[in-house]
Amino acid sequence: MHAWLPVPTIKSQYKRVIQAFSLTVSFFATTSIAADLTQTAKTAINHNSEPYVLMISIDGYRHDYNEVHKPKYITEFAEKSATVNQLMPSFPTVTFPNHLTLVTGLYPSNHGIVANRFYNPTLDRHYALSDRDAVTDGRFYQGVPLWSLAAQQDMKSATYFWPGSEAEIAGHRPTYWYTYDGRIPNEDRIKQVIDWFELPKQQRRNFVTLYFSDVDSAGHHHGPLAQQTYDAVQYIDSLIGSLLAQIETLPFDVNVIITSDHGMAKVDEFQRIYTDKLFGDNEALKSRFTFINDAAYSMVRANGKDKQQDLLALEKLVNDTEGLAFYLKGSVPNNLHFDANPSIGDAILVTNDHYITSTTAKPGVIRQARV
């Protein structure tokens, strides 16, 4: 039994950034992709069978890539699916927060990973997806991810990469997990997944994750409509086709979920907003703020003695800046669910049609596109 979940598109409205992504779930018996839906449903409801789930993330796979880039196998999979036309990922729509939301069911402000990088004042520690010590520190994470839930039910799990899977969360790690290494060929990852499912029943993993970064990397470097992104989609599609074919040969059903964390927008022509230029020549006020910028939003922390006064002064400067919205903690729009964690800071800046950065920012992958 398999399932597929395609990816997000940005549905922007003034003062908020919202992405919507299609959620598609498809079920078919391993003996035949074209199995009758009624018979498949009966197979799925066989409570005597051992449950197996494979959850695949194609990072940065936008909601319309099936139509734009026409991947053969993913499209066929989606066509055999029950489809939810729109689902909103959590804010901010970036990799680590949304991957943790997918496996905990919690908003980032509740599961604790509020951005790809942030400062946690309770721990007095910085978190960044590139910081191995932070990523593996379970104190940053709240909630119960699916692999920990499986362990609580005496089930086995295995993750071939998933944000958060390297840390002990809710008292558990996956039964088997890997330290993230983007250099490991995707073909090797697929082989390991199949090997896990081919283990004897007593050793077999009930819940398995698999992660691909290629489409996201291409989108960030070249934009969502670029040839390089098309090539990345086609490559991952060929891998998905191979993986599904191998799963079909297993003598038991596997529930396959294919999803993503966010979409992609072309932003190379977006006007830049530099947070360090908001203050003009007021160097004293600028020195009392820390910004963590991530293109579509920025988390703001006031560090002076009179934070309230400084925040009001910053709010006035932001209100005079076209395309930028300012929200004090406690006044963030309810639909963003981004107001209940000290790691967020004292305020956030949000834009829909500009690009938030700073003059001191180092060049990175977010050049042609943003989530």
**DSSP label of 95:** H
CA 96 to chain centre: 5
155: DSSP letter = -
The per-residue DSSP string of 223-247 comes to -TTSHHHHHHHHHHHHHHHHHHHHH
Contact status, residue 164 vs residue 145, Cβ threshold 8 Å:
yes
Query: For 242-271, b where at least 16 C-beta lie within 10 A, e where not — what string?
Result: ebbeebeeeeebbbbbbbbbbbbbebeebe
Q: How many angstroms separate the CA atoms of 228 and 213, rounded?
A: 14
Contact 24, 34 (CB under 8 A): no
Tell me, yes or no, if 259 is annotated catalytic. Answer: no
Provide the 3-class DSSP secondary structure of residue 28: coil
Q: Which residues contact 355 (CB under 8 A, 6 or more apart)?
A: 267, 270, 271, 272, 273, 295, 296, 370
Which of the following is catalytic: 9, 30, 40, 95?
95
Which residues contact residue 226 at a Cβ distance below 8 angstroms, ignoring those fewer than 6 apart?
Answer: 218, 219, 368
Q: What is the DSSP string of 254-320?
A: -EEEEE-S---EE-TTSEEEEGGGTTTT-HHHHTTEEEEE-BSEEEEEE-SS-HHHHHHHHHHHHHT
Half-sphere exposure of 232 (CA within 13 A, CB side): 24
Phi, psi of 69, deg, nearest 5? -105, -5
Bridging pattern class, strands 176-177 and 325-328: unpaired
Angstrom CA distances, 90 to 17, 57, 85, 262, 339, stand at 10, 16, 17, 9, 13
Catalytically active residues are 95
